Structure 1
């Protein structure tokens, strides 16, 4: 009898309060909208880059004019109308989650307006041929959509703005990479510092739903296709360790360079020029990216997905050239101040590093080292090893490399931590400086004396 009574009581608690189900329905509906927003963002950004590729194929010199003009215009519009849309988008979501950010101030970092601006400006950046990705921006886009759900939720409900932001940001990763598990891990590793235990299941379901929408519309594919890694045996230990250390070193230096460029004191002429004339400086960065892209035969433009797929397929590759050029172009794109993500470029840089080391070591199974390079560089640049591991694991055919990928991510992150503080956490602290400062108390007459 007691068991039957417990079941009836639990059933009554679960289904009797319509307000609970209203809140759940709102969260699920906005999670679906967030997933659709990222899918739409993916479609328009790919279309935009295809148009740039067509322009470059017809007139090889056109990026020398088009790219700097677009870069300057994007930075001017961003600074004038949507300063919260600059950069990756992940630091903005992290800043909105900080306790010092009041609910009324979260719109400085995350909102529907900023989501729309992020889609427009990042898509324009890809149409300009800049070296950037859309995954980081997708985090801010989806978070803005999810945060809009709070106006439809009960005022005294248990689902807070913090939970919506975590779910939205993670949904952006899940939908952008077609990896719901990666989105959940991103929420745990980067965003969620005070988990809401009572509603964590609902928020996780929202993340998974957004990811499933991306999979159902885009298919179960990735930027660089499926990596068919072979030769996963004891012979991989030494080359794999070399790749882990090298990718950790390169990713740590990349993170340190970004921090020095974006938030460091203006110690050099270029940094001072960036402060004095940011739009002209952006045009110079765009011109440099255009020149690098033309020199590379177009390989470094955009996310470099086609070039990376060709490397994975065993196409001819000049060691060192693409790695260095992509590294440089991605840094210049970020330094220009345009809305831009680094996830996809980091994967391309890591793949090139793995391929270069395979050629240098005469290792016959280059695809395995490319997969390790991808996870190592991304883990080192973002210092999010578990998220990086899951994203790359989804690209690998089979589970033979799971332990190798995980070990590489942890080693690379450890090396990176010696070289650089966490990239997104430092940028988030810079975002918090945009919060309105409380006025200082006026001095009394005695204090003045």
Structure 2
């Protein structure tokens, strides 16, 4: 006898449970390959968005490559001038510093500072759709390129890595007008991709760019756009590789197998860099944000004269140190990485002062490369004081990681930047521990510098109650 019982249907989801059968089928059944490919290829808007984002990622990487080339020419130009006359910087450096500060404050206040606080401010929910241009734009990217290069031409102790973040973010933000409406990447995603692409291209370290995006620019990346953001970061980094080759930023640091004899020097280096980096970060914040002291009042009232005085002091330091404090410190850091440990007397102290004065003067510039140079010097000094000659390379790597982590309080980014320079896996755990320890010590002394300066940047927003736009010549707070 035939069975007249109707076929059993699968039990429905309980009342009130979201998703129903669609969610259940999505969770338990694999997609049909051909259908998935057909649906993906049929969405032309999504592919147009991907093409636009990747094209602008290439442009952002090439912009950083151009910035690197121009800044290198500026450094060589200053070196040629110093070789012609060691006394020439006493005139050229203060005049150049005063001129750059005047141009920045008069015409392009959004280009001041390192550039990272501006990108972080542009990502703030307090910034409206029409206000991002105060912090990040193609115009600011172009201005940043020439202003920072001008500072390096003047021999100032600044870096180009932080400015690369703002330059690349300005290029990537320009992609907004070419994206279709239903793009998987919004304005914030473009800024994150651009800022991280700047780090990736500047250091030739795509992994560091990805971690910088997660650690500093945003606490999370949306799943639907994470793949596109990472692809843009890697593609920008590949532009630097295609031009400069697959070489490390400071060369390769070869480290032999570490032993227990390196434990005490390593701890001294990490803790010393944590203390020095925390004090340095706090000093920079106090100087940039101003106070009631006489120098802050002088800087606020006569910024160009103050910049001239800072430039003159920097030139004197360069003359006393025979050029050791000029520029970002790239040559001395590379020399330490390659095993040349003959540093000038008081190199670390003089470079800290020179970097502080350069940033305080108001000339656009970053602190990444100077921080790595200072950390390398501290590591080298501790290696010599503790007679750790065979482990000097390890102390230099630890010092670079620890001081950068202490100043920026971004330990993962600092660890990865230096890790990609180390030829050997024996240093991975040591660098990670040094970055975390130094960052912890620094947090006892100072708040994160980029977050505090980003909050100061938000003060440039117009008052909603008044509805007035900020003046074009208004000086940036940091």
* Both structures adopt the same fold (TM-score exceeding 0.5): yes
Q: Is the 8 A contact 1:131 1:333 kept in 2?
A: yes
Q: Note the C-alpha offset of 1:440.
A: 5.4
* Root mean square deviation, CA, Å: 1.5
Corresponding residue for 1:343? 368
Question: Which residue of the other structure, out of 173, 190, 195, is the alignment partner of 1:147?
Answer: 173
Match status 1:428 vs 2:435: no
* Structure 1: stretches of 5+ with no match in the other structure: 442-449
Distance 1:113 1:122, change over 3 A: same
1:215-239 Cα distance to aligned partner (Å, 9 max, x none): 1211122342211123512221111
Question: Which residue of the other structure, out of 329, 336, 350, is the alignment partner of 2:354?
Answer: 329
Find the structure with the greater CA-based Rg. Answer: 2
Q: Note the C-alpha offset of 1:5.
A: 7.1
Corresponding residue for 1:39? 65
Q: Note the C-alpha offset of 1:242.
A: 0.8
Corresponding residue for 1:447? none
Q: Is the 8 A contact 2:257 2:426 kept in 1?
A: no
Corresponding residue for 2:211? 185
Corresponding residue for 1:445? none
Q: Is the 8 A contact 2:136 2:169 kept in 1?
A: yes
Question: Which residue of the other structure, out of 31, 48, 59, is the alignment partner of 1:22?
Answer: 48
So what's the TM-score if we normalise by structure 2? 0.90
Corresponding residue for 1:399? 425
| More deviation, 228-237/206-215 | 228-237
Q: Note the C-alpha offset of 1:3.
A: 8.2
Q: Note the C-alpha offset of 1:101.
A: 0.5
Corresponding residue for 2:139? 113
Distance, in Å, in 1 between the alignment partners of 2:427 and 2:341 is 25
Matches within 5 A, 1:402-421: 402-421=428-447
Question: Which residue of the other structure, out of 172, 175, 179, is the alignment partner of 2:201?
Answer: 175
Distance 1:320 1:61, change over 3 A: closer
Q: Is the 8 A contact 2:251 2:338 kept in 1?
A: no
Matches within 5 A, 1:127-146: 127-146=153-172
Match status 1:352 vs 2:352: no
Give the total of aligned pairs.
439
Distance, in Å, in 2 between the alignment partners of 1:57 and 1:227 is 30
Corresponding residue for 1:285? 310
What stretches of structure 1 move > 4 A for 4+ residues in a row? 2-5
Q: Is the 8 A contact 2:398 2:434 kept in 1?
A: yes
Match status 1:55 vs 2:73: no
Distance, in Å, in 2 between the alignment partners of 1:361 and 1:324 is 19
Q: Note the C-alpha offset of 1:312.
A: 3.2
1:187-245 Cα distance to aligned partner (Å, 9 max, x none): 00000235222111011100010011111211122342211123512221111111110
Matches within 5 A, 1:1-400: 6-265=32-291, 267-315=292-340, 317-318=342-343, 321-364=346-389, 365-400=391-426
Distance, in Å, in 1 between the alignment partners of 2:118 and 2:31 is 48
Distance 1:422 1:235, change over 3 A: same
Higher-helix-fraction structure: 1
Corresponding residue for 1:444? none
Q: Is the 8 A contact 1:136 1:341 kept in 2?
A: yes
Distance, in Å, in 1 between the alignment partners of 2:280 and 2:406 is 9
Secondary structure in 2 aligned to 1:436? coil
So what's the TM-score if we normalise by structure 1? 0.95
* Structure 2: stretches of 5+ with no match in the other structure: 1-27, 468-478
